[in-house]
Structure 1
Amino acid sequence: MATKLQHTIEFPFGMAAYRKAISDPEYWSTLAVGSDKAPGELESADITDTGAKIALIQKIPADKLPSAVTSMIPGDLAIHRTVSIEFTSDDRSAGTFDATVNGAPATTSGTIEATGSEKCSIAFAGEVTVRIPLIGGKIEKMIAENMRTLFEAERDFTIAWHDEHP
């Protein structure tokens, strides 16, 4: 059984500024590097006038993982993420996101809807699935919460990026 994942983030600027940020390959490279808690790398960035297709790898060091995860997956956790966004109009974009973990029966996928000419709002809707008897639901809830935290952190990163790259 899957756990629903829904979250909305808001920006103090409109779609034009959001689109400018996510259309810059350097934005994605810098975002992918992450932090000591979750370092990562940019696998690919295909950015055109009509959208962006991004592939990232984020790593979570084993010492930052709960024992329920490390008992099944030894070592650091590598999360492969893809984001696909289509710029549908000046004040709207739509896309998809997904994440998988090598060696784990866990997936996350969903849609991304961004709107707003004056202030941009992005709604994420999807689900987290962990196919492990008895404890899968508990891990799904943990992953869903971590995804919401990730969306918030990426919002903060984007606002800082916007401020530094007017």
Structure 2
Amino acid sequence: MTSRIEHRAAFTIPAATVHARLVDRAFLEARLRAIGGKNATLVDHEIIGETVRYRLRQGIDSAKLPSAVRNVFNGDLVVERTETWHPDAPGFTGTTKATVAGVPAEINGTYTLTITPSGCELRTAAEVKVRIPLIGGKIESVIATHVRDLLAAEAAFAESQ
């Protein structure tokens, strides 16, 4: 079973500006400090031609998890997220893959940053899959909700910079 994540964020600034922010090392580090969660860090950041790839590590404090999840996993959840971005005229596209340490779970998704008359729009489409019999769907739902909230916070942070 998988849980789908769909998210849209509208920006009043050009797509090139949003993209430049989203892939900038200093911006990513600032975003992680502001909203990245427990022990958040930028693990890797590389630029190869016009492609930017980076890996983030973000923690979710166990106290913020629903009891159904805390009963299955002891301690905080640690999420490793790899994103790859490249130009895709007239906008930009990206992919994301995230894993949760110690949990048979993964998130795979795509980003599309397109130009709009008022600026640009970032669309995220992803799927969460947790391979645990009986309770996997519940955990997927919790992760999907957390990811949606995180995407909204990240978009607001990008708009404010």
TM-score if structure 1 supplies the norm length? 0.87
User: What code does the residue aligned with 1:99 have?
Assistant: A
SS at match of 2:119: coil
Aligned to 1:113: 112
1:37-66 residue CA offsets vs partner (Å, 9 max, x unmatched): 544111011135513111000011222222
CA distance in 2 between partners of 1:49 and 1:116 (Å): 22
Aligned to 1:160: 160
Per-residue deviation, 1:75? 1.5
**Stretch moving more, 47-56 or 124-133:** 47-56
1:122/1:62 Cα in 2 relative to 1: closer, same or farther (>3 Å)? same
Given that residues 94 and 111 in structure 1 are in contact (C-alpha distance below 8 angstroms), is that contact kept between their aligned partners in structure 2? yes
Aligned to 1:97: 96
Aligned to 1:148: 148
User: What percent identity do the matched residue pairs reach?
Assistant: 34
1:74-95 residue CA offsets vs partner (Å, 9 max, x unmatched): 1121110111111123x31111
- Structure 1: gaps of 5 or more residues: 162-166
Aligned to 2:73: 73
Given that residues 35 and 153 in structure 2 are in contact (C-alpha distance below 8 angstroms), is that contact kept between their aligned partners in structure 1? no
Given that residues 34 and 40 in structure 1 are in contact (C-alpha distance below 8 angstroms), is that contact kept between their aligned partners in structure 2? no
Greater strand share, structure number: 2
Aligned to 2:135: 135
Per-residue deviation, 1:155? 0.4
Equivalent residues in 2 for 1:50-89, closer than 5 Å:
50-89=50-89
CA distance in 2 between partners of 1:140 and 1:88 (Å): 31
Given that residues 60 and 76 in structure 1 are in contact (C-alpha distance below 8 angstroms), is that contact kept between their aligned partners in structure 2? yes
Given that residues 37 and 64 in structure 1 are in contact (C-alpha distance below 8 angstroms), is that contact kept between their aligned partners in structure 2? no
Given that residues 115 and 121 in structure 1 are in contact (C-alpha distance below 8 angstroms), is that contact kept between their aligned partners in structure 2? yes
How large is the Cα RMSD of the aligned pairs?
1.8
User: What code does the residue aligned with 1:29 have?
Assistant: E
Per-residue deviation, 1:96? 0.5
Per-residue deviation, 1:33? 2.4
1:154/1:35 Cα in 2 relative to 1: closer, same or farther (>3 Å)? closer
1:23/1:80 Cα in 2 relative to 1: closer, same or farther (>3 Å)? closer
- Structure 2: gaps of 5 or more residues: none
4+ residue runs over 3 A deviation: 34-39
CA distance in 1 between partners of 2:59 and 2:15 (Å): 30
